[in-house]
Amino acid sequence: MDKPHLTGMPFMKMHGLGNDFVVVDERVHGAQVTAALAIAIADRHRGVGFDQLATISDGGNADLHLTFWNADGSQSAACGNATRCIAHWEMARTGKDRLVITTDRGTLFAEDAGDGLTSVNMGSPQLDWHEIPLAHDMDTLHLPIEGDPAATGMGNPHCTFFVDDAEAVDLAARGAEMEHHPLYPQRTNVQFASVVGPDHLRMRVWERGVGVTLASGSSSCATAVAAARRGLTGRKVRIDLDGGTLLIDWRDDGVWMTGATAHVFDGVWRG
């Protein structure tokens, strides 16, 4: 008996350390994601659920182009863990061990790091106030906000607090409050990090347009940069998040992020 024909938009569900994504390959299916569609799919009760949705399109001279949507329908120029997940899948599909990926953040480079791990160069951090962006000129390493956070851009804005115990922070309350701080005209991702050792951080994340997440690649990169700039760690650190561990290496050519990925299932959206 013939199988019934599935109509709708095929997608993949992936995650990096519990930071979960819906991925749509527009190169094959021609589907066009809109803000309204992203919001519908993001609903964890009536849709699929995700922290970010990523679409894959033709990259021209690059291997592929990625576009990222938050759960509230807004877009983000960068999403590190989604980039790693898709890079791992694309390298397995094509047999390549290196990829060139374009995003609204710029051109990124991905490599197979062996042992099931994938590395992505997230580019150089944005350290000037207007690049992050902030509302006006200020010292990005010490913001005039209670708690003395640092600001970093990784294609999206970040606000990093260094605290004695990241576990003790009311992440939902503090994150929601700081996301909309007037110093961040485009809102911000918020991190609370504790120094475990000279090359080791513990971090928890609130993502703008999403909320509490188990991990965040761009947040991990921003936190590693802020810690190194303050002299709290070196430029190569291990970051333990609620969902697992990422290795961050701030090199001359950019901030490299390495970690595990998972392709959970394939589905068809018929909403």
The model's pLDDT over 21-48, given as tens digits with 9 standing for 90+, comes to 999 999 987 778 999 999 999 999 999 9
Per-position b or e across 142-163, b if 16+ CB within 10 A of its CB:
ebeeeeebbbbbbbbbbbbbbb
- The upper half-sphere exposure of residue 151, i.e. CA atoms within 13 Å in the direction of its Cβ, equals 30
| CA distances to 126, 160, 209 from 188, in Å | 14, 10, 9
Question: What's 28's domain CATH number?
Answer: 3.10.310.10
Strands 157-162, 189-197: pairing is parallel
pTM of the model: 0.93
Residue 203: strand, helix, or coil: strand
CA dihedral (155, 9, 11, 267) positive or negative = positive
pLDDT digits (tens, 9 = 90+) for 2-26: 444 457 899 999 999 999 999 999 9
Letter for the amino acid at 129? W
In a domain, 62, yes or no: yes
Which residues, in sequence order, are CB contacts of 115 under 8 Å at separation 6+?
none
- CA-CA distance, 271 to 269, in Å (whole number)? 6
Count of domains observed in the chain: 2
Q: State residue 6's pLDDT score.
A: 53
Q: State residue 154's pLDDT score.
A: 97
Domain span at 240: 150-252
Co-location of 183 and 264 in the same domain: no
Residue 209 gets which letter from DSSP?
A: T
In a domain, 16, yes or no: yes
Q: Which helix (H) or strand (E) holds 226?
A: helix 217-229
> Which segments of the chain have a pLDDT < 50?
1-5
In a domain, 1, yes or no: no
Mean pLDDT value across the chain = 95
Residue 94: strand, helix, or coil: helix
Co-location of 181 and 233 in the same domain: yes
Q: State residue 4's pLDDT score.
A: 41
